[in-house]
């Protein structure tokens, strides 16, 4: 892991680079799968499940998860995990319910009234990756706000194991969160199924959820004309801001909890206190040796960094340039620093607020912008599942008041029909 001390501002942009892959290189491969699913529907999805997820065809009777499978899954989930999932769901529900939009009517001019109405996106698709760990927490993060928003159909796709079954914790979380339909499909073929619709999988209007570079490329391609997506996504990342008041063991734990996500994840420690570096490095080494995912974590650490800057302001400025997905602030003045952060997905303040709290159960959403997109994107929230429709009503007095303004602007844009739509009304008054 690199330690960079007192780099110049000219070096910051290169230090803020992620180990992200250019997914455009995958577009030809991804298009092939998308096109086959669009043409053939379920048959193509099943064929690619056999190819990519290595399922046994003899165990794969239907793409859709049955009620019997949901009941069996519930029996297989340990009671303590059930309780944890239910409690996390309640906190996520409480936080996202507080985000409900309340529109109000505004009279912009006498006789001219405008307002907004929030309407749920009718059909949404949730993608939950398979891979090295079952992300049942992501089920809650996506399905709970979708249900609160009032989405009528919540479709979930997730890859099955080789036995043709979905991890029971994913199924239990989906049931608890109120998912409408669950399908055994992963990767490009799952995104295609939700984007185009198949004989089994309904077409949706917006797709949510993380995935590998193939899923990311598929989401980008289908978003060009078929369906909306939540946000661009890349490997997960964390930045820790710390000073000499921070506990090195806490910093190391936060570093490693992010690094174990995957080999392309990135962790950054940014500090103006050079004295803490050695202690943090030692704590990382000690904790790493005890991790079951040590090999994955080590690869992630190879493109992670510790950056020592000259003062507090440089730390803040670098952070706003880096725009981390997760930002943990472990300094004596963490609240003051947090107040100056403009670009971050989710901020974790103080020594007792690990990133894993937001990943699981504090209530905030863990589906967040990566790769610097926090400069322009929000993480998933209730508004992600809502569209807002504007309304306006103009009385006869209102069109008398506003008509001249509209006519003048339309005439100067040389749009005579626009001007006439006002003139013809004024002539009746």
Whether the predicted pLDDT of 232 surpasses 70: yes
Indicate if 31 and 162 belong to the same structural domain: yes
Same domain, 149 and 188: yes
- Letter string b/e over residues 187-224, b meaning 16 or more CB atoms within 10 A of that residue's CB: bbbbbbbbbbbbebbebbbbbbbbbbbbbbbbbbbbbe
Residues 6+ apart with CB under 8 A from 42: 63, 198, 199, 200, 201
pLDDT at 130: 81
15 located within any domain: no
pLDDT bracket for residue 25 (50, 70, 90): confident
CATH number at residue 216: 3.40.50.1980
- Whether 206 maps to a domain, the answer reads yes
pLDDT at 12: 97
Residue 347: inside a domain, yes or no? yes
Distance in angstroms (rounded) separating the CA atoms of residues 372 and 354:
21
Are 53 and 184 spatial neighbours (Cβ–Cβ below 8 Å)? no
**Is residue 99's pLDDT more than 70?**
yes
Pick from 67-76, 94-103, 300-309: least confident: 300-309
Q: What is the pLDDT of residue 132?
A: 62
Q: Residue 123 falls within a domain, yes or no?
A: yes
Tell whether 345 and 410 lie within a shared domain.
no
Query: How many domains in the chain?
Result: 3
pLDDT band at 289 (very low <50, low <70, confident <90, very high): confident
Which strands sit side by side in the sheet containing 112-120, from one edge to the other?
106-109, 112-120, 386-394
* Model pLDDT, residue 261: 76
Q: What local confidence, expressed as pLDDT, does residue 20 receive?
A: 67
User: How many other C-beta atoms lie within 10 A of the C-beta of residue 244?
Assistant: 13
Listed range (181-195, 245-259, 376-390) with the worst mean pLDDT? 245-259
What is the chain's mean pLDDT, rounded? 94
In a domain, 389, yes or no: no
Answer yes or no: do 403 and 346 share one domain.
Answer: no
Three-class DSSP category at 9: helix
Mean pLDDT within 232-236: 84
Cβ–Cβ under 8 Å, residues 401 and 167 = no
Q: What's the rounded Cα separation, in Å, for the pair 243 and 330? A: 7
- Please enumerate, by residue number, every residue annotated as part of a binding site for Zn(2+): 258, 261, 359, 418
Residues 6+ apart with CB under 8 A from 219: 191, 207, 211, 229, 233
What are the residues facing 189 on neighbouring strands?
none
Report yes or no on 5 lying in a domain. no
Does 145 score more than 90 pLDDT?
yes
Query: 84: Cβ–Cβ under 8 A, 6 or more apart, which residues?
Result: 361
Judge whether 120 lies within some domain.
yes
- Best CA proximity match to 190, nearest among 63, 73, 68: 63
Q: What is the pLDDT of residue 377?
A: 96
Are residues 359 and 251 located together in one domain of the fold? yes
**Domain C-terminal end among 189, 213, 229:** 229
72 is catalytic: no
The more confident residue out of 1 and 360 is: 360
Pair 88, 216 in one domain: yes
Annotated binding site: 127, 189, 212, 236, 258, 261, 326, 359, 413, 418
Q: Where are the alpha helices (DSSP H) in 77-135?
A: 79-97
Query: Same domain, yes or no, for 274 and 129?
Result: no
Contacts of 398 (CB under 8 A, 6+ apart): 109, 110, 111, 112, 113
- Do 326 and 346 touch, CB atoms closer than 8 A? yes
Distance CA 252, CA 258 (A): 10
∠ Cα 170 173 176 (to 5°): 150
Separate counts of helices (H) and strands (E) for the chain:
17, 14
Residue 59 has pLDDT above 80, yes or no: no
Q: Is 394 helix (H, G, I), strand (E, B) or coil?
A: strand
Mean pLDDT (whole number) for 300-317: 94
From the candidates 325, 342, 355, 393, which is the catalytic residue? 325
| 2 in any annotated domain | no
Q: Is 326 a catalytic residue?
A: yes
Assess whether 133 and 72 both reside in one domain: yes
Q: Which of 96, 303, 326, 366 is catalytic?
A: 326
Q: Tell me, what's the pLDDT at 228?
A: 97
Do 217 and 264 lie in a common domain?
no
Is the pLDDT at 131 greater than 70? The verdict is: no
Judged against a pLDDT cut of 80, whether residue 133 lies above it is answered with no
Percent of the chain's residues with pLDDT above 90: 83
Average of pLDDT values for 107-113?
A: 97
Task: Report pLDDT for 104.
Answer: 95
Q: Does pLDDT of 409 surpass 90?
A: yes
Q: Which of 166, 200, 229 is the last residue of a domain?
A: 229
Q: Are residues 65 and 94 in the same domain?
A: yes
What is the span of the domain harbouring residue 361? 234-378
412 and 320 co-located in one domain: no
Taking residues 242-251, report their average pLDDT: 96
Answer positive or negative: Cα dihedral of 164, 167, 170, 176: positive
Instruction: Using the Cα atoms of residue 127, residue 264, residue 331 and residue 11 in order, give the sign of their dihedral.
Output: negative
Average pLDDT estimate for 304-309: 95
Whether residues 98 and 240 share a domain: the answer is no
Buried b (16+ CB within 10 A) or exposed e, 142-163: bbbbbbbbebebbbbbbbbbee
């Amino acid at each position: 892991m690199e330690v960079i001390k007192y780099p110049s501002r000219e070096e910051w942009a290169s230090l803020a680079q992620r180990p992200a892959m250019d997914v455009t290189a995958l577009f030809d491969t991804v298009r092939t799968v998308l096109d086959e699913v669009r043409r053939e529907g379920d048959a193509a999805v099943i064929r690619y499940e056999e190819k990519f997820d290595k399922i046994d065809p003899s165990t794969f009777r239907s793409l859709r998860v049955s009620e019997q499978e949901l009941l069996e899954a519930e029996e297989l989930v340990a009671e303590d995990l059930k309780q944890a999932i239910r409690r996390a769901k309640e906190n996520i529900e409480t936080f996202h319910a507080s985000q409900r939009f309340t529109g109000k009517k505004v009279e912009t001019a006498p006789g001219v009234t405008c307002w907004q109405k929030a309407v749920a996106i009718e059909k949404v698709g949730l993608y939950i990756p398979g891979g090295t760990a079952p992300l049942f927490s992501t089920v809650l993060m996506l399905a709970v706000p979708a249900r609160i928003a009032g989405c009528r159909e919540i479709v979930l796709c997730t890859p099955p194991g080789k036995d043709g079954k979905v991890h029971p914790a994913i199924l239990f979380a989906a049931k608890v969160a109120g998912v409408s339909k669950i399908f055994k499909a992963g990767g490009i073929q799952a995104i295609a199924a939700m984007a185009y619709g198949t004989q089994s999988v309904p077409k949706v209007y917006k797709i949510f959820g993380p995935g590998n570079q193939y899923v990311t490329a598929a989401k980008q391609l289908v978003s060009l004309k078929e369906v909306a997506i939540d946000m661009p996504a890349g490997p997960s990342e964390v930045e820790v801001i710390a000073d000499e008041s921070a506990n090195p063991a806490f910093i190391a734990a936060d570093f490693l909890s992010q690094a174990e996500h995957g080999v392309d994840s990135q962790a950054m420690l940014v500090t103006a206190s050079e004295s803490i570096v050695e202690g943090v490095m030692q704590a990382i080494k000690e904790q790493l040796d005890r991790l079951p995912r040590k090999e994955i974590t080590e690869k992630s650490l190879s493109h992670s960094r510790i950056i020592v800057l000259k003062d507090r302001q440089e730390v803040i400025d670098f952070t706003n340039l880096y725009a981390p997905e997760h930002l943990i602030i472990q300094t004596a003045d963490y609240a003051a620093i947090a107040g100056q952060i403009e670009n971050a997905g989710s901020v974790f303040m103080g020594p007792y607020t690990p990133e894993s709290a937001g990943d699981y159960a504090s209530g905030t959403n863990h589906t967040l912008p990566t790769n610097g997109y926090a400069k322009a994107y929000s993480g998933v929230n209730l508004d992600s599942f809502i569209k807002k429709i504007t309304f306006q009503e103009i009385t006869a007095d209102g069109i008398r008041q506003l008509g001249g303004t509209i006519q003048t602007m339309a005439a100067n844009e040389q749009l005579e029909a626009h001007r006439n739509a006002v003139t013809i009304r004024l002539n009746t008054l």
